Amino acid sequence: MSSMTRARDATEVPFRDLERRLTRRRWAQLDLRLRVELVALALIVSGFLFWQARAPLDGLAHRGGPPAVVLAVAVVQVILAALAGVLAATRRARALRVGPPGPEWLALPVAPERLARHLAWDARQAGWAIGVPAAGVLAAAVGLIPAAWELALVAGSAWLLSVSSRLGAAVGQAWALGAAERRPGITPLACALGATSRPRRHRLRAATWSRTSPLWALVRKDIQLTGRLSAVARKAATAAMLWALALLAWGLPGEPALRHSAAFVLTLLAAASLAEWLAVLSGADPFAVLRGLPVGLAAVWGARFAWALLGLVLVVVGHAMAAHELSTHALQVFLVWSGAATLGVATLGVNYGVTLFPRADLAQRLLGLALGLAVAASIMIPLSGWVVLWMAVIHSARRLTHWHRLEEA
Amino acid sequence: MLRVSALTRRYGARVAVQDVSLVIASGEILGLLGANGAGKTTLIRAAAGLLPPDAGTIEVAGVNLWDQPVEARRRLGYAAEEPSFYEELSADEYLAFVAAVRGMEPKGARERAHALLERLGLEDRCGEPVHRFSHGMRKKLSFVAAVLHRPAVLLCDEALEGFDAAGALEAKSELRSLAAAGSAVLFSSHVTEAIERLCDRVVVLHGGRIVRQLERAHWGAPERGPSPLEREFLTVAAGANP
């Protein structure tokens, strides 16, 4: 008994220290820009929920008084806490199914209960994100109920989030352990973790061996990577979804001018997503693989520019078929505008991706900056955005010839 | 053949390779020996076209690497010390991509790739994504990609490190047959035993400079082929495999 207590005491402090350090490091490893973006995103989400909840709560306060508001806010907090529990449960179950973050835990002299508590702590962190919308709803009740009740709601919400996350983590563990293969004499947690450390066979479809040019070999490889890298697939899916929405915009009810504008703006957003996808694809090329093979700039750039051309064709053909209401002249102008924008924006993505390899993050930032400048210029002086866009394309093209001299960052 | 002339490469103020010149003839396997940090990897990466030199020239089978990089790389194979791949592709897909970029005839390329994978014990894993491969399996895949097109010049940077004994023997046998067919091979290692048995000539690199060149006769080279222990292991392994 005393040795067990000593063992628990011995691991308690290092784990608490580890959890504190992990919290600090995970925040510290986000660069300043990302931190600002995350804070801004949290403010936007909670602000949006405040805006959405304030008017209904105000109506409730007039009809039923403060108790009705408290009840409504409490119900929303319970729903949000349940969501936090679901997040913690799925994260916990996934960690036990595919392997938790950290070292080979089974190789360390750690009691299974302490390890389980640490893994539960890790899973619970996801649940705290629910605090952002919860804060928006709580803020919407300020002034409609007495301050003491508001404070009680805040404290209750925090308690609910904590309890729900713990409960969710426990459910997730029970779910994952129930599915794991049991072995006599071994704790269920060790069985589950042991299963994750065993490599699983995962066979892909047989490769296609065919005679093709380097350009088409690269195109085929890009398609394969897009299907398998979720970050790359998301960019491609976003572009396709925005392009589909741009076509659907022609069916919106209301003023024709609104449909026209919506279709154009969505086409521009689709082009920006296409450009981001192309930049990220270049970033996925391992330096030593591509630079060690007999491929030149024409193949590398051409394989990505082919997608820009395909985007142009899809935009022109799609809008030509969907925009029935436009006169012939108006349609021609729209097609030239949207087609040129798609080609320009996508080419800019290709150029930044190829020349800034392997920094796909930098390529995306520069792309965003150039497009932001083009939009701002267009708002200030009509049509000047085109000049900014095509100047950026020309400027980025000047570095293309140096692509093979880039070194690993 | 490979001709490196007065090659110098710096990293900031530090000179990694200084005024290095060497020639590897067709059919020759040249060993590159040196301590950690001697400049072996820098020299090989520069010769592979991955690091632009600060001075000097590199000719691959008569083609200047930096004047005609694509032409030169057609004749070049490079097995990296720390290979990188498209991790999400299977080994088979990766090799199919490399073969297509190299303009190889698909049927022949596929047969050669699978024969090499089988010899190195990787055949039954070739349908899995590369990110599931162990270090040794990644090195084997890099080796297969490098020799797939029977290059005129092959650069091996610690290429056999991480191979199991049977795989290493097969790889050495492949290197010998490539050399016999006329390839020039630059084989870098810090394991002298591998170089002793495999290479025709050795250059020793120290502080980024070539400090010694030795012919095979100078080091009282052992017989080519498996060592007594390797032969014993192969006998046991052959007996264990039905």
* A137 touches A76 (CB < 8 A): yes
* A403 touches A355 (CB < 8 A): yes
Percent of chain B clearing pLDDT 90 (strictly above): 55
| Residues of chain B by 3-state class (helix, strand, coil), percent to 5 | 40, 25, 35
pLDDT beyond 60 at A64? yes
Report pLDDT for B240: 58
Give the closest-approach CA distance of B37 to chain A in angstroms: 18
Report pLDDT for A278: 94
Q: Measured between alpha carbons, how far is A240 from A226 in angstroms, rounded to an integer?
A: 13
- Identity of the residue in B73, B80, B84 whose CB atom sits nearest the CB atom of A293: B73
pLDDT beyond 80 at A343? yes
The structure tokens 């995306």 sit at: A364
Please state the pTM of the whole predicted model: 0.69
ipTM of the complex: 0.73
Cis peptide bond prior to A358, omega within 30° of 0: yes
Mean pLDDT of the region A367-391: 88
Report pLDDT for A331: 93
pLDDT beyond 90 at A38? no
Sort out which chain B residues have CB atoms less than 8 A from A404's CB and list them: 49, 69
Structure token pair of residue A2: 């005393």
Q: Measured between alpha carbons, how far is A129 from A132 in angstroms, rounded to an integer?
A: 6
Report pLDDT for A201: 55
Task: For strands B14-24 and B2-11, give the pairing.
Answer: antiparallel
Report pLDDT for B224: 67
- Identity of the residue in B70, B72, B86 whose CB atom sits nearest the CB atom of A286: B86
B182 touching A (Cβ < 8 Å): no
Counted across chains A and B, CB pairs separated by less than 8 A come out at 111
Sort out which chain A residues have CB atoms less than 8 A from B96's CB and list them: 207-210
Q: What is the pLDDT of residues B126-159, one digit of tens each?
A: 898 888 899 999 999 999 999 999 999 999 999 9
The structure tokens 């799925």 sit at: A90
Question: B178 CB contacts (<8 Å, ≥6 apart)?
Answer: B147, B150, B151, B154, B185
Report pLDDT for A408: 44
User: Distance of CA B241 to CAs B236, B237, B238, Å?
Assistant: 9, 6, 5
Report pLDDT for A9: 59
- Across chain A, mean pLDDT equals 85
pLDDT beyond 50 at A4? no
Report pLDDT for A86: 93
Q: What is the pLDDT of residues B171-209, one digit of tens each?
A: 999 999 999 999 999 999 887 888 888 899 999 999 999
pLDDT beyond 90 at A164? yes
Structure token pair of residue A34: 């990302």
Give the closest-approach CA distance of A49 to chain B in angstroms: 40
Across the interface, whether the CB atoms of B90 and A211 are under 8 A apart is answered no
Q: Measured between alpha carbons, how far is B140 from B146 in angstroms, rounded to an integer?
A: 10
Report pLDDT for A283: 86
Report pLDDT for A296: 87
User: Distance of CA B87 to CAs A36, A283, A285, B49, B132, Å?
Assistant: 32, 13, 10, 22, 8
Confidence band of A196 (pLDDT split at 50, 70, 90): low
pLDDT beyond 70 at A17? yes
pLDDT beyond 80 at A276? yes
Task: For strands B76-79 and B201-206, give the pairing.
Answer: unpaired
Sort out which chain B residues have CB atoms less than 8 A from A284's CB and list them: 86
Q: Measured between alpha carbons, how far is A287 from A394 in angstroms, rounded to an integer?
A: 25
Q: Measured between alpha carbons, how far is B160 from B176 in angstroms, rounded to an integer?
A: 14
Question: A197 CB contacts (<8 Å, ≥6 apart)?
Answer: A99, A104, A106
- Across chain B, mean pLDDT equals 89
Q: Give the residue, B88 or A304, on which the prediction is more confident.
A: A304
Q: Measured between alpha carbons, how far is B210 from A181 in angstroms, rounded to an integer?
A: 59
- Identity of the residue in B49, B76, B96 whose CB atom sits nearest the CB atom of A207: B96
Mean pLDDT of the region B14-41: 93
Task: For strands B55-60 and B63-64, give the pairing.
Answer: antiparallel
pLDDT beyond 60 at A114? yes
Confidence band of A2 (pLDDT split at 50, 70, 90): very low
Chain B segment 24-83 residues within 8 A of A by beta carbon are 48-52, 69-74, 76, 78, 80, 83
Query: Which of B93, B117, B123 to probe the A interface (max A CBs under 10 A)?
Result: B93
pLDDT beyond 80 at A1? no
Amino acid at A64: G
Give the closest-approach CA distance of B215 to chain A in angstroms: 30
Question: Which has the minimum average pLDDT: A43-47, A238-242, A246-250, B38-42?
Answer: A43-47
Amino acid at A82: A
Sort out which chain B residues have CB atoms less than 8 A from A281's CB and list them: none
Q: Measured between alpha carbons, how far is A272 from A266 in angstroms, rounded to an integer?
A: 10
Sort out which chain B residues have CB atoms less than 8 A from A210's CB and list them: 96, 100, 106
* A348 touches A393 (CB < 8 A): yes
Report pLDDT for B20: 95
Report pLDDT for A72: 92
Across the interface, whether the CB atoms of A209 and B69 are under 8 A apart is answered no
Strands in B184-188's sheet, in edge-to-edge order, are: B76-79, B153-157, B184-188, B29-34, B201-206, B209-215
Helix (H) or strand (E) holding A153: helix A147-179
Chain B segment 101-130 residues within 8 A of A by beta carbon are 101-103, 105-107, 109-110, 127-129
Strands in B63-64's sheet, in edge-to-edge order, are: B14-24, B2-11, B55-60, B63-64
B96 touching A (Cβ < 8 Å): yes
Report pLDDT for A94: 82
User: Distance of CA B15 to CAs A301, B7, B18, B45, B80, Å?
Assistant: 34, 11, 6, 15, 21
Mean pLDDT of the region A258-274: 93
Q: Measured between alpha carbons, how far is B232 from B221 in angstroms, rounded to an integer?
A: 20
Confidence band of B239 (pLDDT split at 50, 70, 90): low
Question: A372 CB contacts (<8 Å, ≥6 apart)?
Answer: none
Report pLDDT for A107: 67
pLDDT beyond 90 at A335? yes
* A353 touches A280 (CB < 8 A): yes
pLDDT beyond 50 at A409? no
Sort out which chain B residues have CB atoms less than 8 A from A225's CB and list them: 86, 88-89
Q: Give the residue, A400 or A349, on which the prediction is more confident.
A: A349
* A150 touches A141 (CB < 8 A): yes
Mean pLDDT of the region B87-99: 89
Q: Measured between alpha carbons, how far is A352 from A371 in angstroms, rounded to an integer?
A: 12
Across the interface, whether the CB atoms of A201 and B71 are under 8 A apart is answered no
Backbone conformation region of residue A65, classed left if phi is above 0, alpha if psi is from -120 to 50, else beta: left
Structure token pair of residue B146: 């490098």
Report pLDDT for B242: 45
Confidence band of A19 (pLDDT split at 50, 70, 90): confident
Sort out which chain B residues have CB atoms less than 8 A from A298's CB and list them: none
Handedness of CA A256, A261, A264, A267 (dihedral sign): negative
Q: Measured between alpha carbons, how far is B207 from B91 in angstroms, rounded to an integer?
A: 37
Sort out which chain A residues have CB atoms less than 8 A from B48's CB and list them: 288, 292
Instruction: Tell me how far apart the terminal alpha carbons of chain B are, to the nearest angstrom.
Output: 42
Q: Give the residue, B212 or A128, on which the prediction is more confident.
A: B212
Question: Which has the minimum average pLDDT: A333-347, B95-109, B141-155?
Answer: B95-109
* B85 touches B94 (CB < 8 A): yes
Among A48-57, A268-277, A288-297, B92-101, name the most confident range: A268-277
Q: Measured between alpha carbons, how far is B199 from B181 in angstroms, rounded to an integer?
A: 15
Instruction: Tell me how far apart the terminal alpha carbons of chain A are, to the nearest angstrom.
Output: 54
Which residue in chain B is spatially nearest to A200 when comparing CA positions?
B132
Residues constituting chain B:
242
Q: Give the residue, A128 or A132, on which the prediction is more confident.
A: A132
